A and B are shown apart, each in its own frame.
Chain A
């Protein structure tokens, strides 16, 4: 059986669940709103990074992204929905790949819109303080923002397939992102640089000083995501539905 029908079905499922669409919209709204707020703070910070200031809201937008990813998967673990899905597409690997693409594609799309909107709003709030940014840095920020948000949504999706619960996934990931990264994260140049969010967010900075650069950082996040998706796929294939 071919892949396209399975993917089409999974895209219909995402399109037809209003909470998921609101989740995608929240990625855009939260990112732009918090980026604008960050830009308003003009106290002279020696660590000020104009690019990261414009993308500061991603730290909040990613919460919406992981909620989207986790919910899209956990919807399958309610009321025996997964049984209906797998009876229709018995190739479980193919089904999970379709689910992954159906989550990743809209997340990447909203990520690009968010990146552009965040940059435009962020730099206009910053005004002259953003003048030093080159267009190459801005482009890197936009693309990085989109890829990063997609990877976080997929990271949550993989975890949700392992835990079979959106609530469990979010109650692990949200405290992790809000607390662990903010607290441990400031200790730069340590293992913390390799945490999925910390590593990937390097791409949103104009300058960096850790072990990871913008693209290698994003690659580390991609490895985390690949690991989560791999574990999720393994669970979907191995477990009784």
Chain B
């Protein structure tokens, strides 16, 4: 029991973490927490430091400075760590000449995980029919599933997955989305890195965004999108001109699109619906256009690039 502790027993806490490889700083004074009960999407372009951060959390790389802990303890200090933290880092980690089942058996033995769990996770990841085949015969998607099976082996309350949907087919992508949602619902701490926006948007509750090793954002996904992308309303009627005039009369900024469709900025569909009804206009289409994670992310990186480029940009007169 946490017993009044501020830190939940299964949160991942990264504190002022820095990792340098030679002169290159892969992770730069990074601080954030990943809390249980939700899926945290770990975003950033390739090379932003997501994988490095995960390796640091798992005690595989040594930080230059700062700390990474799980439930307040360093990973290396955990007893039978696979029962507390499950991780997928590289899909190619299982030896090609070994069968999936034997790969998991050896892994289970390290943490005294009963062999029945091996068959359970093989079943859960859909690998049971091919479990006795050698891994070199597997497709990338099957190797990913094996990596996820390994992560789930110890039924851990904390799960870290690095780009788990790489190489998965469309069914696999839906499967991983539902798996992640379920793990969070069960109260686990789930950190999932990706560089694919639409996909992350489909499962994440919380976002941690990195850019060149630094923290760019750490907030609920909805908040992140709403803060960066103005909600818009799309409206189309039989009389496009009247509709435009109506919006203008009420001070709603709007742009006319194709086929007499108007896109109103900074408005709610409820308001526009009432206005058109009061004016007696026939509305054929009225829909809220919510901002996407991709738009929000691009807005963030655009401001970041601007910020980063500012010192070299010549001052305009």
Interface residues of A (CB under 8 A from B): 1, 5-6, 8-10, 12-13, 16-19, 75, 78-81, 83-91, 240-241
Is B182 located at the chain interface by the 8 A CB criterion?
no
Are the CB atoms of B106 and A79 closer together than 8 Å? no
B107's closest neighbor in chain A, by CB?
A88
Instruction: Tell me whether B241 is interfacial, beta carbon within 8 Å.
Output: no
Would you call B112 and A80 a contact (CB within 8 A)?
no
**Is B317's CB within 8 Å of the partner chain A?**
no
Nearest CB on B from A23, distance (A): 12
Contacts of A78 in B (CB 8 A): 92, 95
Please report the C-alpha to C-alpha distance between residue A42 and residue B197 in the assembled complex, in whole angstroms.
77
Task: Identify the closest chain A residue to B106 (Cβ).
Answer: A12
Q: Given contacts A75-B95, A241-B55, is CB(A80)–CB(B109) below 8 Å?
A: no
Report A13 CB to chain B, min CB distance, Å: 5
Residues of B within 8 A of A84 (CB): 89-90, 93-94, 107, 150
Is the Cβ of B92 less than 8 Å from the Cβ of A18? no
- Asked if B93 and A90 sit within 8 Å, CB to CB, the answer is no
Chain A CB within 8 A of B240 CB: no
Q: Which 8 A-B pairs have the closest CB atoms?
A: A79-B92, A80-B90, A16-B102, A9-B109, A88-B110, A240-B61, A90-B76, A12-B106
Residues of B within 8 A of A (CB): 55, 58-62, 75-76, 78-82, 85, 87, 89-90, 92-95, 97-99, 102-103, 105-107, 109-112, 150
- Given contacts A88-B111, A91-B76, A240-B55, are A80 and B82 in contact (CB under 8 A)? no
Q: Give the CA-CA distance A80 to B98 in the complex, in Å.
A: 15
**Which residues of chain B are within 8 angstroms of A6 by Cβ–Cβ distance?**
110
Q: How far is the CA of A17 from the CA of B94 in the complex (A)?
A: 11
Show 28 residue pairs from A and B whose CB-CB distance is below 8 angstroms, ordered by the A residue.
A1-B80, A5-B109, A8-B110, A9-B109, A9-B110, A16-B99, A16-B103, A17-B97, A19-B97, A79-B90, A79-B93, A81-B95, A83-B58, A84-B90, A84-B107, A86-B60, A87-B59, A87-B60, A87-B85, A87-B87, A87-B89, A88-B82, A90-B75, A90-B76, A240-B60, A240-B61, A241-B60, A241-B61
A10–B109 Cα distance when bound, in Å, is 9
Contacting pair A90 B62 (CB below 8 A)? no
A75–B93 alpha-carbon span in the complex (Å): 10
**Residue of B99, B110, B111 most packed against chain A (CB within 10 A):** B110
Name A81's contact: one of B59, B78, B93 (CB within 8 Å): B93
Taken together as a complex, chains A and B put the C-alpha atoms of A6 and B106 apart, in Å, by 9
Q: Give A173 Cβ to nearest chain B Cβ, in Å.
A: 22
- In the assembled complex, which residues on chain A have CB atoms less than 8 Å from the CB atom of B98? 13, 16-17
Contact A83 B107 (CB under 8 A): no
| Chain A: CB-nearest residue to B111 | A88
B90 to chain A, nearest CB (A): 3
Distance, CA A9 to CA B98, complexed state (A): 14
Q: How far is the CA of A18 from the CA of B59 in the complex (A)?
A: 31
Q: Is B111 in contact with A5, judged by CB distance below 8 angstroms?
A: yes
A75 to B95 alpha-carbon distance, docked (Å): 7
Expressed in whole angstroms, the minimum distance between the Cβ of A29 and any Cβ of chain B is: 20
**Please, which residues of chain B bring their CB within 8 A of the CB of A85?**
110
Asked if B110 and A89 make an inter-chain contact with CB atoms under 8 angstroms apart, the answer reads yes
Cα A226 to Cα B90 with chains together (Å) = 32
Q: Is A12's CB under 8 angstroms from B93's CB?
A: no
Task: Give chain A residues whose Cβ lies under 8 Å from the Cβ of B92.
Answer: 78-80
